[in-house]
């Protein structure tokens, strides 16, 4: 009888241990966010990788972009900014030409112009494309940008678009280390975007890892006391990834528009899933797309004299999210920039200002 009782006790103990372990692995606790107290913000993706010999970087970076044959995946040549293809126009990796010329993002004068233009257009946040490594070229550029914003007393805030891990096939441990570095080094900076005291991080190409891997990554970060908010770029699996992430966004609707799909339907589904999981939702607008200067064959979404930009804004304004993303401030390689250019002047900043005003007036 005693032997039988002992067996039962042991079995119960094993079951309790199993349930505790299972609960720890299966229940994912997220920070409590007051969704009724989320400010309306307009953000633009900022690509801080440009350098020039005449600027602080002392060499060409990214303006001398490669040209890739998509069918083979091979780089067939590089642009050469030392070469002029037309009067006053260098050979750069872009179909449009910056009004500032091929600038250096480490230049205070460049950043001063960018900050002023963005502020005047009503943009609140630059979301910086960060792909490491810690202490590397891009990381230093982000640090320079934060310091410049402080020196210039800019009203802009800054957040990070965590990128690059998918290209180099980084293991989860490396991602944990980089996100830990980002949060520890930048999350408490006065210029960094925080929502209800949580620093905000946008994860690019989130579906590179399955949802359970992200759960382990984020759980470990929070176990170290780092309580950031993470937004996923995983629209096609929103119902799965929002079990782990604190919000959802998409970097660009270019693929949707190129395929002739219904943008309103896509964004409506994003809003629905976000509401279902009590999560943040950011919707993205786009002026157009043209990557034919860096990819063979690339593809083009015509700007149509501003009609494409106005259309994407109209969809977003109808759904009225709390956050709007602009793709992009200066992704010149893919022709999505709203930064002033020789081709369009200040047109897209002027359109932005009108749409932002409408957006901010909506309750």
DSSP annotation of 251 reads S
- In terms of DSSP H, where are the helices of 167-262? 172-186, 211-223, 238-241, 254-258
Token pair 């304004």 in the structure block, residue: 317
**pTM of the predicted model as reported, rounded to 2 decimal places:** 0.92
Query: pLDDT tier at 13 (50, 70, 90 boundaries)?
Result: very low
Q: Is the pLDDT of residue 1 over 80?
A: no
Q: Is 345 left (phi over 0), alpha (psi -120 to 50) or beta?
A: left
Find the angle CA(118)-CA(122)-CA(128) to the nearest 5 degrees: 45
Query: pLDDT tier at 6 (50, 70, 90 boundaries)?
Result: low
| The CATH number of domain 37-57+103-361 is 3.20.20.80 | yes
Helix (H, G, I), strand (E, B) or coil at 190: coil
Distances (CA, A) of 329 to 217, 286, 316: 30, 10, 18
pLDDT for position 356: 98
Q: Is the pLDDT of residue 119 over 70?
A: yes
Q: Is the pLDDT of residue 156 over 50?
A: yes
> What does the domain layout of the chain look like in residue ranges?
37-57+103-361
- The two three-digit tokens of residue 205, written as one number: 């190409």
Q: Is the peptide bond before 64 cis (omega within 30 degrees of 0)?
A: no
CA pair distance 102, 61, nearest whole angstrom: 10
The neighbouring-strand residues paired with 51 are: 61
CA pair distance 262, 46, nearest whole angstrom: 26
pLDDT for position 29: 86
Calculate the CA dihedral of residues 220, 226, 227, 233 and round it to 10 degrees: -60
Q: What is the pLDDT of residues 237-262, one digit of tens each?
A: 999 999 999 999 999 999 999 999 99
């Amino acid at each position: 009888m005693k032997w039988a009782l002992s067996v039962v006790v042991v079995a119960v103990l094993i079951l309790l241990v199993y349930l505790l372990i299972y609960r720890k692995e299966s229940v994912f606790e997220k920070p409590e966010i007051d969704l009724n107290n989320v400010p309306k913000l307009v953000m633009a993706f900022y690509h801080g990788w440009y350098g020039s010999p005449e600027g602080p970087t002392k060499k060409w970076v990214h303006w001398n972009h490669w040209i890739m044959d998509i069918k083979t995946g091979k780089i067939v040549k590089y642009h050469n900014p030392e070469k002029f293809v037309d009067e006053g126009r260098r050979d750069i990796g872009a179909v449009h030409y910056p009004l500032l010329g091929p600038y250096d993002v480490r230049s205070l004068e460049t950043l001063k112009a960018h900050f002023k233009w963005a502020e005047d257009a009503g943009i609140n946040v630059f979301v910086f494309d960060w792909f490491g490594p810690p202490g590397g070229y891009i990381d230093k550029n982000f640090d320079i940008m934060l310091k410049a914003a402080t020196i210039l007393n800019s009203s802009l805030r800054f957040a990070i678009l965590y990128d690059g891990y998918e290209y180099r096939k980084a293991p989860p441990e490396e991602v944990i280390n980089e996100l830990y570095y980002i949060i520890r080094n930048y999350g408490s900076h006065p210029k960094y975007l925080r929502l209800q005291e949580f620093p905000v991080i946008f994860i690019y190409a989130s579906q590179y890892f399955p949802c359970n891997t992200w759960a382990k990554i984020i759980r470990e970060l929070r176990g170290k006391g780092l309580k950031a908010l993470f937004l996923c770029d995983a629209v096609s699996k929103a119902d799965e990834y929002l079990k782990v992430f604190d919000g959802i966004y998409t970097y660009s609707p270019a693929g949707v528009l190129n395929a002739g799909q219904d943008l309103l339907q896509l964004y409506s589904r994003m809003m629905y899933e976000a509401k279902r999981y009590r999560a943040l939702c950011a919707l993205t607008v786009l002026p157009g797309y043209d990557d034919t200067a860096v990819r063979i064959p690339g593809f083009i979404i015509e700007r149509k004299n501003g009609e494409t930009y106005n259309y994407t804004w109209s969809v977003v304004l109808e759904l009225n999210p709390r956050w709007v993303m602009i793709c992009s401030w200066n992704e010149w390689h893919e022709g999505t920039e709203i930064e002033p250019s020789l081709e369009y002047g200040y047109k897209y900043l002027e359109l932005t200002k009108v749409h932002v005003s409408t957006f901010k007036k909506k309750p």
